[in-house]
A = this chain, B = another copy of it.
Amino acid sequence: MGPRSPQPVILIVEPFGGSTRLHNPNLPMVYWDDAAVTRGEGIFETVLVRDGQPANFERHAARFRASAELLGMPAPDPSYWRRATLEAAAEWYRQLGQDPATGFEGEAKCVWTYTRGRASTGNPSAWLRIEAIPPSVMEQREHGVSVMCAPRGWSTSETPHEDAPWLTFGAKTLNYTAAMAALRCARERGFDDVLWLGEDHETVLEGATSTLVIVKKGQRLRTPPSGGDVLPGTTQAAIFEYAQAHGWRCKEKELTVHDLERARSVWLVSSVRGAVPVMRIGETELEPRDLDEARELFTAAISATD
């Protein structure tokens, strides 16, 4: 067996040809004039790697392409990113002491990053990394999370995108300063996560790095409408597709904090953490019902992605 927590595997991807090279994580990697560093101009996807394979690949690849398009960057070729993910994953499991001949086992976190690149070359920069899933994730999957409600502090206008092509809402960019600030604030106050609220301080939008899904009686799932200030969720989409096919009724619908308090259960869903139940919202302890039924559904839905 190899070491239990290997170094992250970093693979630099040549964005036009798809060739890759391993980068030593102990050496600097990004140049001073990369737009990621000068203007936060880049996009990313966080993908679960499961038993050597990227999970929910097609949805991540589609959102990655959509993000690139919104930023006016050359379209990333999904086949390059799949190949690079598989290559990095193989290296990751090898470092864990696993033998490709018998197949890989276990989960890891993979992040794809794609930036506008260096001002001096005009070429985008692209790389991915694979690292261990933090122990807190396992803990949260099992025991759930407490969330702080936080007014987002801004709202999007009604301007249609065709009239304002510079608006990058809906792109998963590196501009996560506010989300990170809110998460720090939540942790200082004893919460695990953040639930963004709309301008009325009642409407619920999404988690800081996750999508909100609630379970209602009569096998119904609800999630706040995406678009504007709510990013479309890849995991939520996978769950809804699977649940719908298994007799659940799934809908995008405006939700308030009150709806959450009355739901059978409330979940934050995202790629690596999966589905974690919300146990407390602000000072209100929830009393979730039929958690196991929902957990089974979500786990099955997430396991069904490839």
Which one of A26-34, A242-250, A283-291 is at the interface? A26-34
- Chain B nearest CB from A132 CB (Å) reads 13
A173 at the interface (CB under 8 A from B): yes
- Chain B nearest CB from A152 CB (Å) reads 8
Contact A40 B176, beta carbon cutoff 8 Å: yes
Chain B residue with minimal CB distance to A40? B40
A86 at the interface (CB under 8 A from B): no
Q: A156-B153, A156-B154 are in contact. Are A174 and B38 (CB under 8 A)?
A: yes
Q: Mark A8-51, 1 if CB is under 8 A from B, else 0.
A: 10100000000000010101111111111111111010000000
A133 at the interface (CB under 8 A from B): no
Chain B positions within 8 Å of A111 at CB level? 38
Contact B166 A173, beta carbon cutoff 8 Å: no
Partner pick for A127 among B32, B127, B181, B194, CB 8 A cutoff:
B32
A98 at the interface (CB under 8 A from B): no
Contact B72 A181, beta carbon cutoff 8 Å: yes
Chain B positions within 8 Å of A229 at CB level? 154
A305 at the interface (CB under 8 A from B): no
Contact B29 A23, beta carbon cutoff 8 Å: no
A157 at the interface (CB under 8 A from B): yes
A55 at the interface (CB under 8 A from B): no
How many copies of this chain does one complex carry? 2
A304 at the interface (CB under 8 A from B): no
Partner pick for A171 among B25, B41, B113, B177, CB 8 A cutoff:
B177
Partner pick for A157 among B28, B40, B154, B182, CB 8 A cutoff:
B154
* CA of A34 to CA of B166, assembled, Å: 27
Within 162-181 of A, Cβ neighbours of B (below 8 Å) are at: 163-169, 171, 173-181
- Chain B nearest CB from A78 CB (Å) reads 22
Partner pick for A41 among B35, B150, B169, B177, CB 8 A cutoff:
B177
A58 at the interface (CB under 8 A from B): no
A151 at the interface (CB under 8 A from B): yes
* CA of A238 to CA of B40, assembled, Å: 28
Chain B residue with minimal CB distance to A129? B32
Chain B positions within 8 Å of A136 at CB level? none
Q: Mark A184-198, 1 if CB is under 8 A from B, else 0.
A: 110000000010000
Question: Can you list 13 A-B pairs with a CB-CB distance of less than 8 A?
Answer: A23-B32, A27-B31, A28-B28, A30-B30, A30-B32, A30-B37, A36-B37, A39-B176, A40-B174, A150-B164, A153-B157, A167-B178, A167-B181
Q: Which A residues have a C-beta under 8 Å from some C-beta of B?
A: 8, 10, 23, 25, 27-42, 44, 70-72, 111, 113, 116, 127, 129, 150-157, 159, 163-169, 171, 173-182, 184-185, 194, 199, 229
Q: Which 6 A-B pairs have the closest CB atoms?
A: A40-B40, A175-B175, A166-B182, A40-B174, A39-B176, A30-B30
